[in-house]
Structure 1
Amino acid sequence: MKIAQIAPLAESVPPRLYGGTERVVSFLTEELVRLGHEVTLFAAGDSLTSAELVPAAPRSLRLNPDVRDPIPYHLILLEHVRKRAHEFDILHFHIDLLHFPLLRQLGARTVTTLHGRLDLPDLKPFYSMFSDVPLVSISNDQRRPLPMANFVATVHHGLPRDLLPFSPKPEGYLAFLGRISPEKRPDRAIEIAVRAGMPLKIAAKIDKVDEAYWYEHIKPLVDRHDNVEYIGEVNEKAKASFLGNAAALLFPIDWPEPFGLVMIESMACGTPVIAFRNGSVPEVIDHGVSGFIVDSVDEAVEMVARLPQVDRARVRSTFETRFTSERMASDYLALYRRLINERKPSIPVETEVLAGVTQIGSSSS
């Protein structure tokens, strides 16, 4: 099968540091190539892939200080895709919504995975306008705000089986990994660790939009408590030891998380997750098996005390059963084949016009 994967340009594929969508695109692309498919990746020029790479920007935009506006680069990306669209059996987009006006020109050979939150009011009129566009959700919960949208599948994320090694004997700290932002609630993580009497290590990026939140709300808490340490962003190699040595990952979110890749990264290490019941959490975490689902800080503190009861080998086994990149690629390939098989032959515009002329001529005779 000839497959195009169209990635965001904010990060390289895979990203050097933070970047969930680009990481998933990389895992999917590499697995499809491994399975023998012809894959072309449209992405930032500093991406690393075994597929054919079509660079739409010299390097990832977030780490390029010369970039002020990302939109021109994404329009360049779309022009690259448009020029080569005829080469592919399926075009798989991961870039939110800028490409939607192009899709009707490409016909039924497209699918778009939505990686972000969909509960924003501006999205309803948009997806109502494009209610015929095939979409993939990354959790069933993600779909809820857009009942009018054309979701054709839910495909949970997956990781390469050998990406993160199993760690049977953790050290005695709790981990927070991701972004410093109000919806991720690092303040809750700090409170849980303090009340549970355990060290907390925070590995997270701070976007410009969240700098005020960091300096006004989170940094003072970090400075106040001796058991809390902020270590900044971590790369893939450091992530393995960071998660693997943790007694648990804290995932105290306060928003409808579409998936939460860090949860399955933690599970791959055998590290259980203590997560708040929001968004995709009940679809990802098996309560009492791969972690604990809670509704309050009080419950989270109680679950910290129950961590010694969790079988870390079983956490890893749950990851291998449910969240590998092999399973993810298999799900997407089944969807690609279904969309291709359901595709109706398109009638050229010239044929439609001639047919109309013939009908008019015959009715007037």
Structure 2
Amino acid sequence: MHVMIANNSPIPVFAYGGTERVIWDLGRKLVEMGHQVTYLVPEGSRCDFARLLPIRPDRPWHEQVPDDVDLVHFQFDPRLGSDDALGKPFLFTEHGNSHRARPLPRNTVFLTRNHASRYGSSEFVYNGLDWSAYGPVDFDRPRNYAHFLGKGAWGVKNLKGAIRVARLAGIELEVLGGERFNFRRGIRMTFSRRVRFHGMVGGQQKCELLNGSRGMVFPVRWHEPFGLAVIESLYFGCPVFSTPYGSLPELVPQDCGVLAADAPTLADALQSSRFDARGCHAHAVRHFSSDAMARGYLRYYERVVAGELLNPVPPAIQGAARSLPWRG
């Protein structure tokens, strides 16, 4: 099968990453499985295992899809107007939480069971990563601090709550994805020397920091669509201490962390350190690999190429996804 993966951000990812990391690992795995992959991405991208075409937002989508492509996998809503407007089978992965109940294409899949259900759908594929790119885990290394991993400037990620949890637990916090002084979304100034900020780190620096952490503190205040930071942390043997919203109950079983919507409960769990790092690692490798993700998408590709519409009606978000309860 020849799959075109369309995204409006360049590849590969050089730092923090997100959707770009997922579609890179997806494309590579599809090629390993014997399929052909073309990326439709912004100029400046590069790839050594698939063809690249520059995305042209000012041109109709059907003019940008080569004749030999069997299916287009959009990572953003192409807003085609109808399910057959492209002239080719296509799939759309919804990666976020819509701000309003706007109907999505019927061939939309989501990232978790919870994510899908909040749009009135049951179609989803878990994100997966190529764990070989992350290197080995040092399970014997002392783990004396906790970490937060996420875009700290986003209020829904609740960095303030993570700092509160670490402070109650009496444990130092390494913040990956945030700055000590944040003026973009309100003013936040953090002066504690027990909280260290590393900005939007990636690559070896991120792996090194995760390799020394005793746990991830992630008290989000929205329905997390997936949470790549969660599975990356689990891979490095870090249990997750988070709120029970969105995907978190699907990603974090009871033996890999604690889910609660209040700081004292999460702080007590973080302080107890009763979780098995090797068990957390095994859970991530078993359930969230790029191989499992690629096989999941291939099943949907086959259905769509055969002419099936995945959802009986256009999915649309149902209910509020933000400003969920938190007791600090």
Name the TM-score, length of structure 1 as normaliser: 0.77
Using the TM superposition, give the Cα deviation of residue 162 of structure 1 relative to its aligned residue in structure 2, in angstroms.
Answer: 1.1
Cα gap change, 1:316/1:340 in structure 2, threshold over 3 Å: closer, same or farther? Answer: same
Give the aligned residue type for 1:213: R
Match of 1:83 in 2: 64
Match of 1:183 in 2: 156
Match of 2:261 in 1: 295
Match of 1:330 in 2: 295
Give the aligned residue type for 1:191: R
Partner Cα distance (1:301, 1:8) in 2: 39
Partner Cα distance (2:217, 2:229) in 1: 10
Give the aligned residue type for 1:19: G
Q: Pick from 244, 260, 263: which aligns with 1:277?
A: 244
Partner Cα distance (2:167, 2:263) in 1: 11
Residue deviations 1:225-264 (CA, integer Å, cap 9, x gap):
1201111111222111111111111111001110011000
Using the TM superposition, give the Cα deviation of residue 294 of structure 1 relative to its aligned residue in structure 2, in angstroms.
Answer: 1.8
- Extract unaligned runs of 5+ from structure 2: 310-328
**1:23-102 matched pairs, under 5 angstroms:** 23-49=21-47, 50-56=49-55, 74-76=57-59, 79=61, 82-95=63-76, 97-101=77-81
Which is greater in Rg?
1
**1:100-249 matched pairs, under 5 angstroms:** 100-101=80-81, 103-107=83-87, 109-118=89-98, 120-121=99-100, 124=101, 126-127=102-103, 133-147=106-120, 151=121, 153-164=123-134, 165-168=136-139, 169-180=141-152, 181-205=154-178, 211-213=183-185, 216-217=187-188, 219=189, 222-223=190-191, 225-249=192-216
Using the TM superposition, give the Cα deviation of residue 107 of structure 1 relative to its aligned residue in structure 2, in angstroms.
Answer: 4.5
Cα gap change, 1:5/1:205 in structure 2, threshold over 3 Å: closer, same or farther? Answer: farther
Aligned length: 303
Give the aligned residue type for 2:57: H
Identity of aligned residues (%): 26
Residue deviations 1:322-344 (CA, integer Å, cap 9, x gap):
00000000111111112223459
- Extract unaligned runs of 5+ from structure 1: 57-72, 345-365
Q: Pick from 263, 275, 285: which aligns with 1:310?
A: 275
19-28 or 42-51, which deviates more: 42-51
Q: Secondary structure at the match of 1:239?
A: helix
Q: Secondary structure at the match of 2:72?
A: strand
Residue deviations 1:40-87 (CA, integer Å, cap 9, x gap):
01112333321101123xxxxxxxxxxxxxxxx5335x54x5332532
Partner Cα distance (2:197, 2:242) in 1: 20
Give the aligned residue type for 1:157: N
Give the aligned residue type for 1:24: V
Give the aligned residue type for 2:3: I
Using the TM superposition, give the Cα deviation of residue 133 of structure 1 relative to its aligned residue in structure 2, in angstroms.
Answer: 2.4
Assess if the C-alpha contact under 8 Å between 2:12 and 2:20 holds in 1. Answer: yes
**CA RMSD across the alignment:** 2.1
Match of 1:66 in 2: none
Cα gap change, 1:188/1:343 in structure 2, threshold over 3 Å: closer, same or farther? Answer: closer
267-276 or 82-91, which deviates more: 82-91
Name the TM-score, length of structure 2 as normaliser: 0.86
